[in-house]
Amino acid sequence: MFSPVYISDMNCVTPLGLDLQDNWIAILKEDTGIDVHTVGCFENIYTAKIKDLPTVRTDLTYLERMLYLTLEPMVRSKPLGAKTGFILSTTKGNIEFLSEGKSEEAQLHKLAFKMSSLFGFITRPIVVSHACVSGVLAVSVAKRLIQTGQFDEVFVLAGDKVSEFVLSGFNAFQAMSAKPCKPFDSGRDGVTLGEAAGAILVTKSPEHALVEIVGEGAINDANHISGPSRTGEGLYRSISSALNEAGIDASAIDFISAHGTATPYNDEMEAIAFDRLGMNDIPLNSLKGYYGHTLGASGLLELIISILSLRHNKLIPTKGFVSRGTSKDVNIITQKMDVPLTYILKTASGFGGSNAAAILKKVNG
Amino acid sequence: MEELKEELKGKIIEVLNLEDVAVADIDDSDALFGDGLGLDSIDALELIVLLDKEYGIKLSDPKQGKSIFESVNTMADYIAKNRTK
Amino acid sequence: MDSALYISHYSKIEKGLISVDGNVIFHAGEAQFSDFIKQAFKYQQLDYPKFYKMDNLSKLAFLSAEVLLRDEEDKEDIALVLANKSGSLDTDVKHQESIQDAANFYPSPAVFVYTLANICGGEISIRHGMKSEQVFFVSDAFDVVTISNYATYLLASQKAKKVLCGWVELFEENYKAVLYLVERAGTKLHTINNINQLVKN
């Protein structure tokens, strides 16, 4: 019923590298961006912070520089017309303005407008701010708006930075890991926060396409605003919805890029949802051991790295994982493997009972 | 001790926004979680902050909370023994 | 795409007034938001103590949905497409106040959890059992074109049976909520003009 939609370009700026290539090289070496940093009054804690972010322009905040460095190479030589959309995915944007009492400057729509003007988009910027599923959901929004005819192509840009604001909140939630996070592991004890920006170009045209977005869904648990569902209901339904749209069985998925925050409840919930779908044997990873949890960027960043996996037919291990720590069996990738890949599933879950899933199929590969 | 219990009830009602609940409605031995006041996981985290902020008690292991937050009795006992302010 | 979609019902909360389908159902006069919304909630005679734990944005969204969905049945597949201008800024400021002073640093989990704009949608979902598609957009004013296309997509793709759309804005004492239900039956067509009239007036 709807025309196919593709992803045809991408980039990211993270603690592991300031472009796609450097990130992939670091991932293949199994480097981590997590290190000891001091953030506000939190001294010597593990976070994944970018160490030397270039000062490309002096009129930009730290986060804006991350966003600028990510998208600028992609739009540099592109005409941005009336059918070119711009979606920004972020949870907290320029939140540090609040500590200076500048609440108006911290508005997310202001950040989107500033970035949009900087790049020269002529359509109205769209902000998706939906907790930790923002990045994956923003891809769905781009696809859906292309399928309604509103746009021919959409640049999706996602970013969040490490802040005392978020750290203090996760800490009050007793959700911070004392050590670098250990997704799906029996000894996991919480999140490591990170910062990153990622960008993709979503298109109607199959030209230069890397993948087709064959199905996606973003369904709420309707259970609790902070606690993950005990049955993984929303994630189960999100994946089911994506599979249904793609017209494939769960067994057709070659690889799952899970959310895997390394909190006891989240990873358990995901394992339950995958088990309910009979996806126990499908190779699965969480990239949080490389990048930490980058909030509104995480879903998009992990989707980007997973597209690289897909294009290179290479499975990436779950850094930090040693032994299974979920009640249901899931096939956690523990070492690099060369495997032919066609379909991949990216998922995310977050506060507010939110979940998102997207299935990508390799094209032109 | 009775004074501490009364004070504690008032603070619980205040920080957990228990509208329509009065100090007199809470028995010292009422279960705070489950069927009692119907508190949930966020409330438990909020009680950990209350111990820290009001009584200078830092819970190193949040799992300790389960036995401490059973009732006003257990909470008051713990505070009396461990308070630093 | 098939355009036979309708706005079946709508609710508004603004300036101490609550209305459903244009009929005022509650009026509080000159009260502060927190007093007004509490009075309005009590007037609904609803046994839902969690309401008092919500932040102001969630209280606003919750009550707007409550009066609109009162007579709805089978709510599980009603999608939720919400937008506002200030995101969760009102609660962000409160969380910031709790960490501003290093000597008095007591961030509250119950406040922090509301420092995400989409939580108010989560509260609506929990209340009505809406295990459904959801998204939260932020923009300086209601983006009618994007929201209407998005709702149309959800219905045309059968990812939702109905879509609850709207604007739920709150920062300090400035607040406004307009929610409307989009479905395949009704009399008011789901058009840009009709949505504009609802939301902008």
Per-residue pLDDT tens digits for A234-267: 999 999 999 999 999 999 999 999 999 999 999 9
Q: Give residue-wise pLDDT tens across range A262-304.
A: 999 999 999 999 999 999 999 999 999 999 999 999 999 999 9
Element (H, E) at C34: helix C33-43
Q: Which domains does chain B have, with CATH numbers?
A: 2-82 (1.10.1200.10)
Q: How far is residue A204's CA from residue A5's CA, in Å, rounded to a whole number?
A: 5
The residue behind tokens 């746009």 is: A151
Note whether A165 contacts C113, CB cutoff 8 Å: no
**Nearest CA to C117 among A354, A143, A336?**
A354
Q: Give residue-wise pLDDT tens across range A166-223.
A: 999 999 999 999 999 999 999 999 999 999 999 999 999 999 999 999 999 999 999 9
Q: Kindly report the CATH number assigned to the domain that includes residue C73.
A: 3.40.47.10
Evaluate whether A94 touches A104 at the Cβ level (below 8 Å).
Answer: no
Of C44, C50, C59, C108, which to mutate for an interface test with B (greatest number of B Cβ within 10 Å)? Answer: C108
Other C-beta atoms closer than 10 Å to the C-beta of A275 total 17
**Nearest CA to A88 among A55, A137, A35?**
A137
Of B39, B40, B43, B61, which to mutate for an interface test with A (greatest number of A Cβ within 10 Å)? Answer: B40
DSSP labels, C99-116:
HS-GGG----HHHHTTSS
Q: How far is residue A304's CA from residue A12's CA, in Å, rounded to a whole number?
A: 8
Q: How far is residue A363's CA from residue A365's CA, in Å, rounded to a whole number?
A: 5
Indicate yes or no: pTM above 0.95: yes
* CA quadruple C15, C20, C23, C25: dihedral sign: negative
Token pair for B33? 């979680």
Q: How far is residue A18's CA from residue A26's CA, in Å, rounded to a whole number?
A: 11
Q: How far is residue A153's CA from residue A134's CA, in Å, rounded to a whole number?
A: 19
SS3 for C154-192 is HHHCCCCCEEEEEEEEEECCEEEEEEEEEECCCCEECCH
Token pair for C30? 């000159």
| Percent of chain C topping pLDDT 90 | 96
| Long-range CB contacts for residues A99-103, cutoff 8 Å, separation at least 24 | A99/A164, A99/A165, A99/C96, A99/C100, A103/C89, A103/C92, A103/C93, A103/C171
**Residues sharing a CB contact under 8 Å with residue C121, sequence separation 6 or more, in sequence order:** A220, A352, C61, C80, C82, C134, C136
Cα A260 off chain centre by: 11
Q: How far is residue C133's CA from residue C112's CA, in Å, rounded to a whole number?
A: 24
Q: Which domains does chain A have, with CATH numbers?
A: 6-184+192-203 (3.40.47.10), 211-362 (3.40.47.10)
Out of B16, B17, B42, closest to residue C113 by CB: B42
Could you tell me which chain B residue has the CA closest to the CA of A171? Answer: B45
Out of C51, C109, C113, closest to residue B49 by CB: C109
Asked whether residue C133 is domain-assigned, the answer is yes
Could you tell me which chain B residue has the CA closest to the CA of C112? Answer: B42
Chain A contact present for C107, CB below 8 A? yes
Chain C contact present for B38, CB below 8 A? yes
CB < 8 Å to A224, chain B: 40-41
In a 3-state reduction of DSSP, which class is residue C83?
strand
Could you tell me which chain A residue has the CA closest to the CA of B43? Answer: A173
In a 3-state reduction of DSSP, which class is residue C8?
strand
SS3 for chain A is CCCCCEEEEEEEEECCECCHHHHHHHHHCCCCCCEEEEECCEEEEEEECCCCCCCCCCCCCHHHHHHHHHHHHHHCCCCCCCCEEEEEECCCCCHHHHHHCCCHHHCHHHHHHHHHHHHCCCCCCEEECCHHHHHHHHHHHHHHHHHCCCCCEEEEEEEECCCHHHHHHHHHCCCECCCCCCCCECCCCCECEECEEEEEEEECCCCCCCEEEEEEECECCCCCCCCCCCCCHHHHHHHHHHHHHHCCCHHHCCEEECCCCCCHHHHHHHHHHHHHCCCCCCEEECCHHHHCECHHHHHHHHHHHHHHHHHHCEECCCCCCCCECCCCCCEECCCCEECCCCEEEEEEEEHHHEEEEEEEEECCC
Out of A131, A147, A172, closest to residue C118 by CB: A131
Q: How far is residue A251's CA from residue A79's CA, in Å, rounded to a whole number?
A: 41
Cα A144-A150-A152 angle, rounded to 5 deg: 85
pLDDT, position C3: 63
pLDDT at C2 over 60: no
- In chain A, which among 150-179 make CB contacts under 8 A with chain C? 150, 164-165, 168-169, 171-173
Token pair for C56? 């102001």
CB < 8 Å to C49, chain B: 18-20, 38
The neighbouring-strand residues paired with A48 are: A194
CA-to-CA separations, A65 to A16, A101, A166, in angstroms, rounded: 16, 22, 20
Amino acid identity, residue A137? Answer: L
Q: Give residue-wise pLDDT tens across range A104-162.
A: 999 999 999 999 999 999 999 999 999 999 999 999 999 999 999 999 999 999 999 99
Other C-beta atoms closer than 10 Å to the C-beta of C91 total 26
Q: Give residue-wise pLDDT tens across range C137-151.
A: 999 999 999 999 999
Q: Strand A255-257 and strand A35-39: pairing?
A: unpaired
**Residues sharing a CB contact under 8 Å with residue A180, sequence separation 6 or more, in sequence order:** A32, A34, A46, A192, A289, A320
Note whether A172 contacts B45, CB cutoff 8 Å: yes
* CA quadruple A346, A350, A352, A353: dihedral sign: positive
Q: Helix A233-246 to helix A264-276 angle, to the nearest 10 degrees?
A: 40
Evaluate whether C182 touches C79 at the Cβ level (below 8 Å).
Answer: no
Cα C56 off chain centre by: 11
pLDDT at A308 over 60: yes
- In chain A, which among 185-224 make CB contacts under 8 A with chain B? 224
**Residues sharing a CB contact under 8 Å with residue A11, sequence separation 6 or more, in sequence order:** A19, A20, A70, A71, A73, A74, A198, A199, A304
Domains contained in chain C, number: 1
Which residues constitute the domain of residue C190?
A: 6-200
Q: How far is residue A115's CA from residue A93's CA, in Å, rounded to a whole number?
A: 12
Other C-beta atoms closer than 10 Å to the C-beta of B20 total 10
Out of B41, B49, B62, closest to residue A226 by CB: B41
Q: What residue ranges of chain B have pLDDT lower than 70?
A: none
Chains linked to C by 3 or more Cβ pairs within 8 Å = A, B
Evaluate whether A319 touches A290 at the Cβ level (below 8 Å).
Answer: yes
Asked whether residue C180 is domain-assigned, the answer is yes
Out of C109, C130, C137, closest to residue A127 by CB: C137
Q: Strand C188-189 and strand C6-14: pairing?
A: antiparallel
Asked whether residue C1 is domain-assigned, the answer is no
Average pLDDT over residues C100-119: 97
The residue behind tokens 């523990």 is: A334
Of C53, C56, C111, which to mutate for an interface test with B (greatest number of B Cβ within 10 Å)? Answer: C53
Evaluate whether A140 touches A163 at the Cβ level (below 8 Å).
Answer: no
Cα B49-B51-B55 angle, rounded to 5 deg: 130
Q: How far is residue C160's CA from residue A270's CA, in Å, rounded to a whole number?
A: 23
The residue behind tokens 């909470």 is: B75
Note whether A174 contacts B62, CB cutoff 8 Å: yes
CA-to-CA separations, C195 to C21, C31, C181, C184, in angstroms, rounded: 13, 29, 11, 16
